[in-house]
Amino acid sequence: MSFQNLVKPSSAIANYLKNGKIKNYFSTVLWTFTSIAIFVSLWEFAWWQGWANPILLPPPHIFLSNLSDQFRFFDPGGTRAGALSTGGSFLSVLGVMGWSSLRVSAGLASGFILSLLIGLGIRYFNIFGRLILPLVTMLAPISPVAWIPVAVFIFGIGNIPAIFLVFVAVFFIMTLATLSQIDNVPKNYIQLAQIMGCSKRQIYRYVILPTILPELFVTLRMNLFAAWMVVLIAEAVGVGSGLGQVTMMARNTFNASLVFFTMTLIGLTGFLFDQALRYVQKKVLWWVGPSTVGAL
């Protein structure tokens, strides 16, 4: 048996390694973990050296060690929030994350659909556009935070104001993005459709809509994080449950461990959300070449 045969991996493993997809996947996971590990070890080092006060900046091994203690503060319904006596479970943590995610999803979905409709409407109906566009442009720069009192005045306390704030965070930006995308549809695409005998309605339906959707989806993904920031504020102020409410409670009770634990959860949920949207984008908008999707 020659030396070469000895080091040659078995064909199964060779195939496994040759398969670029799996290799890529593992390398992505590895880099992600390394990236987190560096951050965590710096923090732990600072604690070990005594630079970071464990009361104010408890490192991960502290705020992740007493999980059952942390779980007590999570209650999806929000009724027991802050009650220290009866503890929640892992499920209740998932429940809280789920509620926040639902609010973000509802706000994003309604914002996306409505902005698309309004954007198309502005360009399709001349008079509608002239009436609506100045309004949209004026409302666009107002921070969602400024909308909080309005949301509470109109919708009271509950899910609706939180969803509304997420909606506000994406709607105006997405409407303007829709307009700019419509204006950037290649002229050739429309001229071809005209020669083929398309009516205005058909051009919007068969040419403009499919042309603008991929870019709009990218814009939506970039606004995802803004939506998460807004939902936390909305929950802290106007809902009484969710990750934002837990963070606010942790702040009020000076519970640093809980603050960092919740921040970890928020980071994780946001990350998963982005992955999910990426997946949807790949599946639904298949006509965007692989390179364009990969870039963002």
Residues that bind another protein (CB under 8 A): 186, 188-189, 191-198, 202, 206-207, 210-211, 287-289
User: Which tokens in the block code for residue 167?
Assistant: 């909606």
CB of 3 to another protein, least distance (A): 44
- Nearest partner of 73 among 255, 282, 201, 281, judged by Cα: 255
Task: Please say whether the beta carbons of 281 and 269 come within 8 A.
Answer: no
Whose Cβ is closer to another protein: residue 141's or residue 197's? 197
Taking a C-beta distance cutoff of 8 angstroms, is the pair 144, 105 a contact? no
CB of 193 to another protein, least distance (A): 8
Report residue 154 as tokens: 């109109």
Nearest approach in angstroms of CB 200 to another protein is 12
What minimum distance in Å lies between the beta carbon of 174 and another protein? 20
Nearer to another protein, 124 or 189 (CB): 189
The one-character DSSP state at 7 is: H
Report phi then psi at 59, rounded to 5. Answer: -70, 165
Give the residue with the Cβ less far from another protein, 160 or 285.
285
Please count the other Cβ atoms lying within 10 Å of the Cβ belonging to residue 261.
27
Nearer to another protein, 178 or 247 (CB): 178
- The answer to whether the beta carbons of residues 84 and 72 sit under 8 Å apart is yes
Pick between residue 124 and residue 206 the one whose CB is nearest to another protein.
206
Cβ of residue 289: shortest distance to another protein, in angstroms? Answer: 5
Q: How far is the CB of 24 from another protein (least distance, A)?
A: 21
Contact 255, 240 (CB under 8 A): no
Helical (H) or strand (E) element with 260: helix 256-284
Of 85 and 291, which CB lies nearer to another protein in the complex structure?
Answer: 291
Which positions ≥6 away from 57 have C-beta within 8 Å? 43, 46, 47, 256
In the numeric block, which tokens belong to residue 217?
A: 């989806």
